Structure 1
Amino acid sequence: MAPAKNKRPKKDSEGSTSTFVRFQSQDYEKLCQKYTNTKEKYIDEKFPPEKRSIGTGLLSKSQMAKLVWKRPSELVEDPCLVVDGESRFDFAQGELGNCWFLAAIGAITFQKEIMDKVIPDDQSFGGNYSGVFHFRFWRSGKWIDVVIDDKLPTIDGELIFLHCKTRNEFWPALLEKAYAKVCGSYAALHGGFISDALRAFTGGAYKTFLVIEETTWDLMEKAAQGRALIGCGTHQGATSANTVLPNGIVQGHAYTVTGVTKVKTPTKEVKLVRILNPWGEGEWNRDWSDKSPLWKQVSEEERKRWLEDKNDGEFWMSMKDFCRYYSNLDICCVSSTFLDEPPTAPKSRRIQH
């Protein structure tokens, strides 16, 4: 059996439960106690496993006819909330057009203190498991504690929305359900702004910037040094959203910036940007991609440090190519020191796939 999520030390400052407002007045601890005593499994009457929680216009009639709500224990023998820690490589997008939300999740997995706050440590599928879980988001100027049951929408025994690549790991699916509850339905997540999701996970300040070759590198390097969260979006394209270009870039799509660095070749220093596709697959396939021969021009030490040839949705590209194919940056951080820069775009762009 895979290990359950490890307990984390309690926090007495900003992370303490006393700073959170109970969403819809639901008390996680009291619900856990009640259903542990009755030995029943919790069903959330305020976001029930019913059609109205899916919302309208998201699934077809045939899909809705086959939809079954199941608990993780009905899908696998050994469900875990988290297996070997939360990672940006854990999850893959489902039928829901919420790449903007997934791009933000990919960003926060780098910062344990944020993950600790969003995913409380006092829950698991072991011990006194009673089907009750809770997650925390920043909304309307305060942190809210959101309770859900663990019934998830499936078709033919498979999760239809956000799911883990590790079959018995369920933190992404449950986190998505909690946010869907806050927004009213899963359908409400079908299209959104990266900046909204980054704000919901951090309560931090954010700005949106146009990608401009003359200024964007300095901005990204400064943001990375300040441990800011960085999302980005590609140009919409002339045809339809979701079009995958021959070079592997998806038009009108949200991505996460997961790193910036400089490497030395025999003739010059090259600025590189590392980017994650929240689909969990599908990568840039030109200069400085995983299989690019340009990596042979850098030292073996730099190749070992930066290059991973895996089809996991994460890839490197040059700053020049980044500025060609990406249109905007969304930068969010708890400390707004570096955000003194004036925004060069009026607002984040709504992305729907």
Structure 2
Amino acid sequence: MPPPDGCQHNPNEDDVNSPTSPLNFLDQNYQELHQNCLTENTLYNDELFPPDNSSIGLFDDEPVVDMSQVVWKRPSELVSDPNLIVDGVSRFDYAQGSVLGNCWFLASIGALTFEKDIMKQVMPAEQSFTKDYAGIFHFRFWRFGKWIDVVIDDQLPTIDDELLFVCSKTSNEFWPALLEKAYAKVCGSYADLNAGFISEALMDFTGGTHMYYQLNTAPADLWKIMECAFTSKTLIGCGSNTATTPEENEILCGIVALHAYTVTGVFEVTSDENTVNLVRLLNPWGEEEWRGDWSDGSPLWDTVCEEVRKICHEVLNNGEFWMSMEDFTTIFESIDICCSCPDFLDGSSECHWTSIRHFGRWNAGSTAGGDIIETETFWTNPQFRVTIDELNEECASGQRPENTLVSLMQNHEKKNRNSQTNLDIGFYVFEVSIDMRSQSGRFSSEFFIESEPVAQTDGLVWLREVMKFFRLEPGEYLIVPCTENPGETASFVLSIFSKNETHFELIQETSE
């Protein structure tokens, strides 16, 4: 099992904070604001995310409701006995609102409910509508390499006393709506939550490792990886394939095309003496389920023993269902696994991964050299020198060959999430031969013209974050993050996770 606080972090100049000591988002200090409200006997009113249409934001398409009818109300104005949590948190507590297309965020919440430690990290304890209530709450997210503490008031947008966005199935439970509001504040507005990738929120909840697999090229032991993940502190989500024709919709058989789902479990069953690997999924809509093999109404459940049926089989229209791993990898496009650390992959309590993080920038005219095909300028990109030590005996006997995970994230600086323009980004890893290890300064263009990468991202893509999981033998390497075109200015966060002892430095000087 991984250590409680995730990967062991190698400290450096970029080691800025942790979930227990987050930065105050917009310089709002929850403790001070809360105490002021108690002293003055007032309810908190957040002037930086006010209860008006500016916080709802502008939708690309016309919303299905008249925004002039929106009234912001506190939970105590909607029900007589509001609670933050009723009978614990559950993936079945909430349903997606009809106005906002943020299934990617709500599917992430579904995963979050399984990991109580991560939930407490995101939603700090000792908040309620009774003891020391002052209309103020706070949540914690990991954004672009830094943990932040986000303060909100509890005024929520409603129409006819119904919540406009996410709503709880228990009328007096409000943690889903308040969590969504806090994340909307971080992203700029509710409208800025419209459309996205589930990996974004999963990473913002965990602040750790992101593993991404395209299911049509996934490793043969992916189900085993998922099984190991569920024994650790992981959040898992996935996205379904597209469907452009009626025939493709028939293949989906109840699965919504281009939709985010939560992976809520894996289970191995014996069906007519055959072993079947099953995956359990949750549609954040709380309805619309798979209708194929191993669905709620499938006769295949009659082929397993009664004990397994009692554990797994429920005929409920709650958006959750089982399907075989074969169907899963056919109908779904990708899977995202996010956790504090990839230790779970090794199956050894003695082998702990370490992490290093650097905040960098591509600057036009100096350190924005473009992709590797730009032979005259590629070398000017930031270069990171990495030394990989020999593995200890426990780690060397791990179950998987990969020992390094590199993540490159665009560090956006604009207030509104949907106003950000992602560049096409990626990175390359080069081995430094023994005869070149004495060289100081940045490696020249000749080095990159003559050298082949030993690892690289699968092309350059416009996602917020790209990652690659691979093996590096002990030795020295260069990691070069880049954008597609020379001269593109942007900030980035480069993270390296390794189960080897790793030494890492940014090369400052140039050799040309």
Q: Structure 1-normalised TM-score?
A: 0.88
CA distance in 2, matches of 1:191, 1:169: 25
1:119-134 to structure 2, matched below 5 A, reads 119-134=123-138
CA displacement at 1:310 relative to structure 2? 1.2
Partner secondary structure for residue 19 of structure 1: coil
Q: Could you tell me which of 237, 245, 264 is aligned with 1:258?
A: 264
2:104–2:197 Cα contact (<8 Å) kept: yes
CA distance in 2, matches of 1:289, 1:344: 36
RMSD: 2.7
CA displacement at 1:221 relative to structure 2? 2.6
Does residue 181 in structure 1 map to residue 190 in structure 2? no
Does residue 22 in structure 1 map to residue 28 in structure 2? no
Q: Give the structure 2 partner of residue 111 of structure 1.
A: 115
1:301–1:73 CA distance, 2 compared to 1 (3 A):
same
Does residue 75 in structure 1 map to residue 82 in structure 2? no
> Which deviations, in whole Å up to 9, do the C-alpha atoms of 1:70-116 show, x marking residues without a partner?
11111111100001111111111012111111111111111111011
More displaced 10-residue stretch of structure 1: 33-42 or 176-185: 33-42
Amino acid aligned to 1:171: W
Q: Could you tell me which of 164, 170, 179 is aligned with 1:166?
A: 170
CA distance in 1, matches of 2:65, 2:462: 35
CA distance in 2, matches of 1:261, 1:345: 31
1:1-353 to structure 2, matched below 5 A, reads 19-57=21-59, 60=63, 63-94=66-97, 95-212=99-216, 214-238=220-244, 247-337=253-343, 338=345, 340=402
Q: Which runs of 5+ in 1 are unaligned?
A: 1-11
1:232–1:327 Cα contact (<8 Å) kept: yes
Amino acid aligned to 1:325: I
1:118–1:137 Cα contact (<8 Å) kept: yes
> Which deviations, in whole Å up to 9, do the C-alpha atoms of 1:139-174 show, x marking residues without a partner?
121211100000111111101111111110000100
Q: Give the structure 1 partner of residue 11 of structure 2.
A: none
1:208–1:348 Cα contact (<8 Å) kept: no
1:330–1:348 Cα contact (<8 Å) kept: no
CA displacement at 1:128 relative to structure 2? 2.2
Amino acid aligned to 1:141: G
1:246–1:142 CA distance, 2 compared to 1 (3 A):
closer
Amino acid aligned to 1:68: V
1:297–1:100 CA distance, 2 compared to 1 (3 A):
same
2:5–2:340 Cα contact (<8 Å) kept: no
Q: Which runs of 5+ in 2 are unaligned?
A: 7-16, 346-399, 406-455, 465-512
CA distance in 2, matches of 1:344, 1:234: 22
1:184–1:244 CA distance, 2 compared to 1 (3 A):
farther
2:279–2:323 Cα contact (<8 Å) kept: yes
CA distance in 2, matches of 1:136, 1:244: 41
Q: Structure 2-normalised TM-score?
A: 0.62
Higher relative contact order (CA 8 A, sep 6+): 1
1:156–1:348 CA distance, 2 compared to 1 (3 A):
farther
CA distance in 1, matches of 2:308, 2:326: 20
Amino acid aligned to 1:164: S
CA displacement at 1:130 relative to structure 2? 1.2
1:87–1:106 Cα contact (<8 Å) kept: yes
CA displacement at 1:43 relative to structure 2? 1.0
CA distance in 2, matches of 1:277, 1:175: 19
> Which deviations, in whole Å up to 9, do the C-alpha atoms of 1:8-65 show, x marking residues without a partner?
xxxx989997511111111111111111222221110000011111111265385211
Amino acid aligned to 2:113: T
CA distance in 2, matches of 1:23, 1:244: 46
